[in-house]
Structure formats: C-alpha cells, structure tokens
Amino acid sequence: QGDVLDDWAQVNFPGVRPDLVPGAPVQDPSFVDEEALRKERTFPIPEEGLVQLAKAFLAKLFVDPTEAKRRMSSDFRFIAPVVPALGDGISGEELCKALGQFNILEAVPDINAQQYDFRTDPFEPNRVWFTARGRGTNTGPVFGGLPATGKSYEAPPQSQSLTFNERGEITKMTIGYVMDKTVGTTGGLGGIFGILYGIGYGLPIPEAQPWKPSPIYKLLSQTGALVSNLQKLAR
C-alpha cells in the first residue's frame, strides 16, 4: 500500500513541497459523496441531455430571443443578483423584450460569452450549473442610439444556472453571480451591468457601479477589529 500511495503522490503532486502533499486521498464528512447523492436524487433527463438542452438555449439567447423563449416554461423566471428590483424574477416575455431593446450583438458584434464547465447539481439533478466569463468590443450603437466607445471589456468568472422541468423546458435562469471581483475590467460587476460598465456606459445607479463599502462598514473595518465591532452591534 505504501508503494501505491507513493505513486499516487508522484502522479498528482509534481513539484509540490513534500510537506504539503496529503498522505492519502483526503476524506471528510464536509465533502459530499456526489456519486451516492446522484443515486439518491434522480431526474428523468440524464446529465448529458440537460447539458445539451442548456447549450441549445444559450446558443440562441442573443441571436434569436424568440427561439430561446420557445424553450422556456410558462412559469419561467430570470434572476440575477440585483434583478428584479421587485418580485421573484422576470418572466420569459420580459427577458426577451429586454434583450431586444438592448441588442447586445449590435453593440458588441464580436461578443464571446466564454461559457464552460457545464454540470448538473447533485442536490438538484434538474439544474445545470456553468461558468461564464465573456469579452468583446463596443463597435456598434448602444441601446440603438448611443455612439460606440471602441472600448473592450473582459468580465470576471460568473456562476450561472438553468433549471429544467421534466418536459425539458427551462423554469429558471440565474446569471451574474461573480466568483472573483478582482478579475476583468468590469469593476467586479457581472451580467449586463458589467458589460455596460466595461464599455464605458455604466448606468448611474449603485447596483450598476462597482461595489463600495458603506461609511459605517469602512469605519468598522479601519479600526482593525471588525468582528468584535460587529458583535457589539449585533447585541
């Protein structure tokens, strides 16, 4: 067994400091047994099918919103970190109308959504998660009339998802949940707000601008005792 572990270490940790290499594959109750969970929680449409349905939808979303809407359920909801301002999500009809008004392909003809790492959720087997970055250059009119800035944007990695019903229709879409705000040129913003900020048309509302700490939060952090100060406030 010792020889097997030695081989395992050599294959998986080339160049790693010896004192950092685990003595054996790491196991802990905090790590989900995905294989067991997937057997326990099932969905009629297999993972590969759901991933292909997700890609078929995403491939048409900007190019042909009407075709994309055909893949939405009647109770479809679109949700992003600050969208909607009210309610539990915007409908498919509202989403397609918004996409048509902005017309991202006219504003950024070379847009590349850079979507990858598609997989189903072992807890929600009808949900496909994926990562999106995105880049492009504003060479066309924005909102149909504002002049192009010629600026390029590079978005940070964002966690996004599509949830399906048993008919293969999409019931929920979530986008724009930034995973690392230090990446890219959008001020840490995701989704359409990030694109607009990156090309020089950041909307004049706090939700569409890079995050800034509140005066109180800044004050508490500057004292060097954030946790203890927060504990006092919570009492």
Q: Give 104-125 pLDDT, tens digit per residue.
A: 999 999 999 999 999 999 999 9
Percentage of the chain surpassing pLDDT 90?
80
- Pure H helices in the chain: 2-12, 34-40, 47-61, 65-69, 92-102, 104-107, 191-198, 215-222, 226-234
**Alpha-carbon distance 70 to 73, whole Å?**
8
Phi, psi torsion values for 122, nearest 5 degrees: -65, -25
Percentage of the chain surpassing pLDDT 70?
92
CB atoms within 10 A of CB 123: 11
Our measurement of the distance from residue 23's CA atom to the centroid of its chain's CA atoms, rounded to an integer in Å, reads: 35
CA-based end-to-end distance of the chain: 54
pLDDT at 78 over 80: yes
Instruction: Note the pLDDT of residue 233.
Output: 67
Cβ atoms of 128 and 54 closer than 8 Å = yes
Cβ atoms of 217 and 195 closer than 8 Å = no
Tokens linked to 16: 């790693």
Instruction: Note the pLDDT of residue 8.
Output: 82
Angle at 156 between CA 152 and CA 161, to 5 degrees: 120
Per residue in 9-53, pLDDT (tens digit) is 888 999 999 899 998 889 999 999 999 999 999 999 999 999 999
pLDDT at 160 over 70: yes
Taking CA atoms, 5 is separated from 17, 21, 90, 143, 185, in Å, by 16, 11, 52, 59, 44
pLDDT at 2 over 70: no
User: pLDDT category, 166, cuts 50, 70, 90?
Assistant: very high
**Alpha-carbon distance 133 to 116, whole Å?**
9
pLDDT at 149 over 80: yes
User: pLDDT category, 227, cuts 50, 70, 90?
Assistant: low
User: pLDDT category, 219, cuts 50, 70, 90?
Assistant: confident
Spatial neighbors of 68 by CB under 8 A, at least 6 apart, are 57, 60, 61, 96
Instruction: Note the pLDDT of residue 193.
Output: 96
Give this prediction's pTM.
0.90
pLDDT at 209 over 70: yes
Instruction: Note the pLDDT of residue 84.
Output: 92
Instruction: Note the pLDDT of residue 207.
Output: 95
Nearest to 78 by CA among 99, 67, 94: 94
